[in-house]
Amino acid sequence: MERRRFVGDVLKVGGVASVLAGPEALGASKAPRAAPGPPQAVIGKVKRAMLAMQRASWEQGVAAQALLEMGDLDLVVLMAKEATLRQAEDGRLADLASSDNVTDPAANGEAVLKAAELIGDPRLKEAADRMRDYLMNEAPRTADGTLFHLKSVRQVWVDSIYMAPPFLAVAGQPAEAVRQIEGFRRLLWNPEKHLFSHIWDDGRKDFMRRAFWGVGNGWAAAGMTRVVRALPARLAAEKARLLGYIREVVDGCLVHQRDDGLFHDVVDDPSTFVETNLAQMLAYTIYRGLAGGWLEARYRSVAERLRRAVHAKVDRFGLVQGVCGSPLFDRPGTATEGQAFFLLMEAARSGA
């Protein structure tokens, strides 16, 4: 919930810009750097550091997804069991420090479904079904059916594009996954900037946070990429439309790439801090696009540049430094999602 309270607290005390300052102004420590070593050694360190971190619902989910895409299936089963152990009565998975979150718990869904298949445990399948049914029937939403991000306020967040639609797409509701993406995009997409804004307040019919948050655009790109990979052949037209959306947001972000290969936290605002996770999220998206044949070969050098920039941010403990840092995500630091997207990037590259 700390992350979820951040924006509201900021708005009360004078705006997002005052918080999204450079790391020096925020007193961020300079973590020691070290040569990362061979890629497999780095991957092992990053994974170990991720597993050592405390995790809220979406963090458990993105970590489990990273392990799933890496093929570390024993750990996927363990992560899924823990997510179901902490399932709320209404069906939301991994209900730890996330009782207000609507879509975040669904980030665990694909891993839980896969674990059910791997070990034949009907309890895991039932847990995934309950998560799906919550999204389909109980979760609060706008008048046109777009899911809210929190129970307590009528807000649509760009984060949700990653949290809910990929699970819906693999849980027997691919058309609903597409409908949700269309709803999020209708409210949050800026056609001039080719970027997503962060938060729409449906009660006020205005943006709570109009800023083009880098990680938010990364959530959108990676989430739509996972949906595209899961869509059945009968939804070919929908898939083609989503591929256009993904390309638009990737290209929209790349316009603002820095000379060091990274991006600012708000991608078009150079007064905000330099952030690492968006580079990983875009690299993941591009590698999946190359493997799927829906991005041209010229994007490979783009992904490799992003990856090099990220590898330079891994310290000797395997911590990916400079991502939006836990627990408030308002300054550069470390976070489960930063660790997980390093692993997702590497898994996607191995298949591209």
Q: Where are the alpha helices (DSSP H) in the chain?
A: 2-12, 23-26, 39-51, 57-70, 73-85, 109-119, 122-133, 160-163, 165-170, 174-188, 214-230, 236-254, 277-292, 299-311, 336-350
Q: pLDDT, tens digit, for every residue of 2-22?
A: 454 444 443 333 333 333 333
Which pLDDT does position 96 carry in this prediction? 82
> Which residue shows structure tokens 């947001």?
249
Quote the percentage of the chain above a pLDDT of 70.
Answer: 90
Q: pLDDT, tens digit, for every residue of 231-270?
A: 999 999 999 999 999 999 999 999 999 999 999 999 999 9
Which pLDDT does position 3 carry in this prediction? 52
Domain ranges of the chain: 2-350
Integer Cα distance of 164 and 185 in angstroms: 14
- The token duo for 146 is 């777009």
- pTM: predicted TM-score of the whole model, two decimal places: 0.91
CA atoms within 13 A on the CB side of 156: 28
Q: pLDDT, tens digit, for every residue of 142-189?
A: 999 999 999 999 999 999 999 999 999 999 999 999 999 999 999 999
pLDDT class for 28, splitting at 50, 70, 90? very low
Q: What is the mean pLDDT of the chain?
A: 92
The distance between the two most distant Cα atoms of the chain, rounded to a whole number of Å, is 53
Which pLDDT does position 339 carry in this prediction? 98
* β-bridge pairing 274-275 and 199-201: unpaired
* Options 2.40.30.10, 1.10.150.120, 1.50.10.10, 1.10.645.10; CATH of 2-350: 1.50.10.10
Give the number of other Cβ atoms within 10 Å of residue 141's Cβ: 17
Give me the mean pLDDT over the 117-123 stretch.
98
Integer Cα distance of 290 and 208 in angstroms: 35
pLDDT class for 32, splitting at 50, 70, 90? low
The answer to whether residues 292 and 228 touch, using CB atoms and an 8 Å cutoff, is yes
Q: Is the pLDDT at 336 greater than 70, yes or no?
A: yes
